[in-house]
Amino acid sequence: MSTILTVNNLTKKFGHLTAVKDLSFSIEKGHVYGILGPNGSGKSTTLGIVLNVVNKTSGNFHWFDGSVSTHEALKKVGAIIERPNFYPYMTAVQNLKLVCKIKEVSEDKIEEKLELVGLLDRKNSKFKTYSLGMKQRLAIASALLNDPEILILDEPTNGLDPQGIHQIRQIITKIAAEGTTILLASHLLDEVEKVCSHVIILRKGEKLYAGRVDGMLASHGFFELKCDDMKKLVSTLKANPSFLEIKQENGLVTAFLKEEMDAKHLNESLFKNGIVLSHLVKRKESLEEQFLTLTKNQSN
Amino acid sequence: MIRLLQIEFIKLWNNRASKILIISYFFILTSIALVAAIKFDIGPVKFHMAEIGIFNFPYIWHFNTFITAFFKLFLAIVIVSMMANEYSNKTIKQNLIDGLSKKEFILSKFLTVVSFALISTIFVFIVSLILGLMYSDYDELSIIFSDLEFIVAFFFKLLGFFSFCLFLGILVKRSAFALGFLILWQVLEGIIRGLIRWKLFDGDTTETIMGFFPLQSMFNLIKEPFTRLEAVQTVANQVGEHINLNYRVHWYEIVIVMAWTAIFIYLSYALLKKRDL
For residue B159, the distance in angstroms to the closest alpha carbon of chain A comes to 25
Element housing B195 (H / E): helix B175-195
pLDDT at B53: 72
- The confidence score (pLDDT) of residue A151 equals 93
A86 → closest Cβ in B7, B91, B102: B91
Whole-number pLDDT of residue A188: 73
Residues A199 and A256 placed together within one structural domain of the fold: no
A23 assigned to some structural domain: yes
Taking only the tens of pLDDT, chain B with its 277 residues reads 899 999 999 999 999 999 999 999 988 888 766 666 655 555 566 666 666 677 788 888 888 888 888 889 889 999 999 999 999 999 999 999 999 999 999 999 999 999 999 999 999 999 888 888 887 777 788 888 888 889 999 999 999 999 999 999 999 999 899 999 999 999 999 999 989 888 888 878 888 888 899 999 999 888 888 777 766 677 777 776 665 667 788 899 999 999 999 999 999 999 999 998 8
Q: What DSSP string runs through chain A?
A: --EEEEEEEEEEEETTEEEEEEEEEEEETT-EEEEE--TTSSHHHHHHHHTTSS--SEEEEEETTS-S-HHHHHTTEEEE-SS----TTSBHHHHHHHHHHHHT--GGGHHHHHHHTT-GGGTTSBGGGS-HHHHHHHHHHHHHTT--SEEEEESTTTT--HHHHHHHHHHHHHHHHTT-EEEEEES-HHHHHHH-SEEEEEETTEEEEEEEGGGSS----EEEEEES-HHHHHHHHHH-TTEEEEEEETTEEEEEESS---HHHHHHHHHHTT--EEEEEEEPPPHHHHHHHHHHHHH-
- Structural domain including B209 reads 2-274
Number of domains in chain B: 1
**Which residue, A196, A215, A234, sits at the end of a domain?**
A215
What is the model's pLDDT at position B122? 94
What digits encode the pLDDT tens for the residues B3-62? Answer: 999 999 999 999 999 999 999 998 888 876 666 665 555 556 666 666 667 778 888 888
Rounded Cα distance between B107 and B6, Å, is: 12
CATH of the domain at A162: 3.40.50.300
Question: Which of A54, A75, A87 faces B89 most closely, judged by CB atoms?
Answer: A87
Q: Rounded to whole angstroms, how far apart are CA atoms A122 and A190?
A: 31
Segment A123-148 mean pLDDT: 92
**Confidence tier at A231 by pLDDT (50, 70, 90):** confident
Residues 6+ apart with CB under 8 A from A96: A107, A110, A113, A114, A138, A141, A142, A145
pLDDT category at A175 given cuts 50, 70, 90 is confident
Same domain assignment for residues A22 and A160: yes
Same structural domain, A188 and A102: yes
Residue of B nearest to A127 (CA): B89
Does residue A143 belong to any structural domain of this protein?
yes
**pLDDT recorded at residue B229:** 74
For residues A37 and A96, state if they share a domain: yes
What residues of B are in contact with residue A77 (Cβ under 8 Å)? Answer: 99
A257 confidence band (pLDDT: 50, 70, 90): confident
Domain of A203 in residue numbering reads as 3-215
Count other C-beta atoms under 10 Å from residue B261's C-beta.
25
Best to test chain B binding among A52, A104, A107 (most B CBs inside 10 Å): A52
pLDDT of amino acid B259: 96
Q: How far is A158 from chain B (nearest CA, A)?
A: 18
The 8-class DSSP code of residue B249 comes to P
Sheet strand arrangement including A150-154: A77-80, A150-154, A181-186, A32-36, A198-203, A206-212
Domain membership flag for residue A198 = yes
pTM of the model: 0.85
Chain A residue numbers with beta carbons less than 8 Å from the beta carbon of B95 are: 102
Is residue A250 one of the residues assigned to a domain?
Answer: yes
Comparing CB atoms, the residue among B89, B94, B274 nearest residue A88 is B89
Domain boundary, last residue among A192, A215, A238: A215
B11 and chain A in contact, CB less than 8 A:
yes
Domain match, A189 and A163 both:
yes
Q: How many domains does chain A have?
A: 2
Q: What is the pLDDT of residues A107-134, one digit of tens each?
A: 999 999 999 888 999 999 999 999 988 9
Residues of A within an 8 Å Cβ radius of B: 14, 48, 51-55, 69-75, 77, 79, 81, 83, 85-90, 94, 97-99, 101-104, 142
Q: How many CB pairs under 8 A join A and B?
A: 81
Asked if B98 contacts A74 with a C-beta cutoff of 8 angstroms, the reply is yes
- Give me the pLDDT at residue A88, please: 94
ipTM: 0.84
Identity (one letter) of the amino acid at B78?
A: V
Residue B59 has a pLDDT of 84
pLDDT for the residue B214: 92
Q: What is the average pLDDT across A172-200?
A: 84
Q: Which of A263, A113, A280, A81 lies closest to A184 in space, CA to CA?
A: A81
Nearest to A101 among B3, B15, B102 (CB): B3
Name chain A contacts of B15, Cβ cutoff 8 Å: 87, 89-90
Q: Who contacts B55 (Cβ-Cβ below 8 Å, separation ≥6)?
A: B37, B49, B63, B131, B132, B134, B135, B136
The residue out of A190, A215, A240 marking a domain boundary is: A215
Q: How far B210 CA sits from the closest chain A CA (Å)?
A: 38
What's the gap in Å between the CA of A80 and the closest CA on chain B? Answer: 8
Residue A201: count of CB within 10 angstroms of its CB: 23
Higher pLDDT, B50 or A183: A183
Q: Give pLDDT, residue A218.
A: 63
**What residues pair up with A60 in beta bridges, in sequence order?**
A8
The predicted structure's pLDDT at residue B217: 92
Q: Are A204 and A41 in contact (CB under 8 A)?
A: yes
Quickly count: other Cβ atoms within 10 Å of residue A9's Cβ.
13
- Binning pLDDT at 50, 70 and 90, where does residue A62 land? very high
Instruction: Decide if A300 is inside a domain.
Output: no
Residues A202 and A265 in one domain: no
Could you tell me which residues come within 8 angstroms of residue B76 by beta carbon, excluding any fewer than 6 positions away? B161, B162, B165, B179, B182
B108, closest residue in chain A (CA to CA): A102
Q: What is the CATH number of the domain that holds A272?
A: 3.30.70
Q: What is the pLDDT of residue B40?
A: 55
Q: Provide the 10 A C-beta neighbour count for residue A39.
A: 8
Q: Does B88 touch chain A (CB under 8 A)?
A: no
Q: Look over chain A and give the mean of its residue pLDDT values, rounded to a whole number.
A: 87
Asked whether the bond before A148 is cis by omega within 30 degrees of 0, the reply is no
Contacts of B269 in chain A (CB under 8 A): none
Same domain, A48 and A19: yes
